[in-house]
Amino acid sequence: MIQETIVTTQNSAGKTHLAPMGIHVKNNEFIILPFRPSTTLDNLLDTGTAVINYTDDVRIFAGCLTGHREWPLSPAEKISGVYLQAALAHCEVEITRIEEDPIRPKLFCKTVHQVQHSPFTGFNRAQFSVLEAAILLSRVNHLPIEKIESELNYLSIGFEKTAGPREQEAWQWVTNAIQEQLHKADKS
Ligand SMILES: Cc1cc2nc3c(=O)[nH]c(=O)nc-3n(C[C@H](O)[C@H](O)[C@H](O)COP(=O)(O)O)c2cc1C
């Protein structure tokens, strides 16, 4: 199974980095798969540790891809690192082994410590729509315009029916950024 999370890492100077990552979960192991080049990868190789944050605030997923990166953080408990205050739960992990790959290495991790902060309050279709739109944004230069537009039209159905203020803000950030990228591509 793949869980959509926010991974927080730090470089050896203690500078924090946030990135949405789809974490593969297999038995009791997590596998983080960053595409090169990646700050998350560099930091993980530097320190050997990361925090996997489970959050339903989709503004953080959208924000990482649209320049809204200032989210409140707290110090991790068992490793040197930070977790998102908006996390419903977080997991502090350590690399156990690496499968090298020129495109997308696999970083196998084990849990050092996990904390539940708030209860899970159910699925929301607008949150799914924002995540999918954020993934479209991250691939906007590799996909045909027609596919992007038809997927956004479909995603807008669940979004319109179920979004709250956080989802609305995140959707605006992502769809504006997609339009900007498409506009730029049109001009070049
Ligand atoms: C829901 C979601 C899941 C993502 N999963 C991954 C992933 O597994 N690996 C990856 O390299 N990028 C993934 N991305 C894209 C990265 O978050 C984004 O490109 C980021 O800049 C990664 O590079 P960084 O480590 O340099 O920040 C995902 C984006 C979204 C919105």
The pLDDT tens digits of the residues spanning 49-62 come to: 999 999 999 999 99
Residue nearest to atom 13 of ligand 1 (CA): 21
Average pLDDT, integer, range 16-32: 96
Tell me 55's DSSP state. Answer: -
- pLDDT confidence of 72, banded at 50, 70, 90? very high
Instruction: Tell whether ligand 1 has an atom less than 6 A from the beta carbon of residue 61.
Output: yes
* Prediction pTM value: 0.97
Average pLDDT, integer, range 77-81: 97
In 10 A of CB 171, how many CB atoms? 24
Residue nearest to atom 26 of ligand 1 (CA): 38
Which percentage of the chain shows pLDDT scores above 70?
A: 99
CA distance 157 to 160: 5
Task: Choose which residue among 60, 64, 138 to substitute to test ligand 1 binding: the one with the highest number of ligand atoms within 8 A of its C-beta.
Answer: 138
CA distance 128 to 54: 14
Summarised one tens digit per residue, pLDDT across range 86-96 is 999 999 999 99
DSSP H helices, the chain, are 39-47, 58-66, 125-138, 145-162, 165-187
Residue nearest to atom 7 of ligand 1 (CA): 21
Structure-token pair, residue 161 = 């029916």
- Quick one: pLDDT at residue 187? 64
Angle between helical axes of 125-138 and 165-187 (0-180°, round to 10)? 20
- Quick one: pLDDT at residue 61? 98
- Quick one: pLDDT at residue 9? 98
- Quick one: pLDDT at residue 185? 83
